[in-house]
Amino acid sequence: MQAHELLDILTRSPADAVKRFAEDLLPRLEPVEVLRNRTGLAMLPFRETAQESSFYLGEILLAEAHVRVARVEGYAACLGRDLEQALALALIDAAHRAGIAGPAIADFARTQAADLAETDEALMRAVGQTRVDLETF
């Protein structure tokens, strides 16, 4: 699993589950150097469909963390202002790229990905059921 795929999954996973997993991982990662852990904004560019130009839709509040574990840097950001969630994600990112606890991380990510996929599929099934044929509407 690529590092960006791992983050794609875990940033949308329940924060408590991610924090618990990182907590369990922590003894294997010490010493951890926290380079940055803060809240801030990301500006979101958006491509319009009328003239295909781009503009800023607005800003997104995020929490980010940048850590160093075993000389490998880890980074993550998540929506909102939960600094612990960002730190947990960055630790998992660092561990993954340092080759620490690879199977455990892969298992955790697979479980979370399955839950997210199930939620998405349920939503899309519900959305699909609102399709109307306007000839007979």
Partner 1 sequence: MAYVAARGGEAAILQSEQLHQLLNAPLSLATVRMIEASLPYLVDRVMGEGSLYAPELAALALAQTGGDLYEAVLLLRAYRSTQPRLAYAEPVTQTELLTVRRISASFKDIPGGQILGPSLDYSHRLLRLDLLDQDNQDRSAPAPPAATVSSDAPAGEVPPSYDPSPLAVADWQRSEGLLAAVPEVLPTDPASLPDLTREPADFPAPRAHRLQALARADTGGVLALGYASMRGYGLAHPTVNELRLAYADVRLRHPVTGEPFSIGRVRVSQCEVVNTQATELRLGYTATLGWNEVKCIAGAMLDLEMDAPQPHPAHSEEFVLYHTEPVEASGFCIHYKLPHYVTFQSGLDALRDARATATDAPTEPGDVQ
Binding residues for partner 1, rule: CB under 8 A, are: 2-4, 7-8, 11-12, 38-62, 64, 66, 73-81, 97, 120, 123-136
Provide the angle, in degrees to the nearest 10, between the axes of the packed helices 83-98 and 3-10.
Answer: 150
- CA-wise closest residue to 37 among 3, 75, 80: 75
Q: How far is the CB of 103 from partner 1 (least distance, A)?
A: 21
Nearer to partner 1, 20 or 36 (CB): 36
- How far is residue 51 CA from its own chain's centroid? 32
CB of residue 120 vs partner 1: minimum separation in angstroms?
8
Provide the minimum distance between the beta carbon of 84 and partner 1 in the complex, in angstroms, as a whole number. 15
Pairing of strands 32-47, 72-79: unpaired
Q: Whose Cβ is closer to partner 1: residue 31's or residue 126's?
A: 126
DSSP state letter for 81: S
Q: Which is nearer to partner 1, 68 or 111 (CB)?
A: 68
Short-list 92, 76, 115, CA closest to 32: 92
How near is the Cβ of 3 to partner 1 at its closest, in Å?
A: 6
Q: Which CB atom, from 41 or from 114, has the smaller least distance to partner 1?
A: 41
Tokens representing 90 are: 């960055």
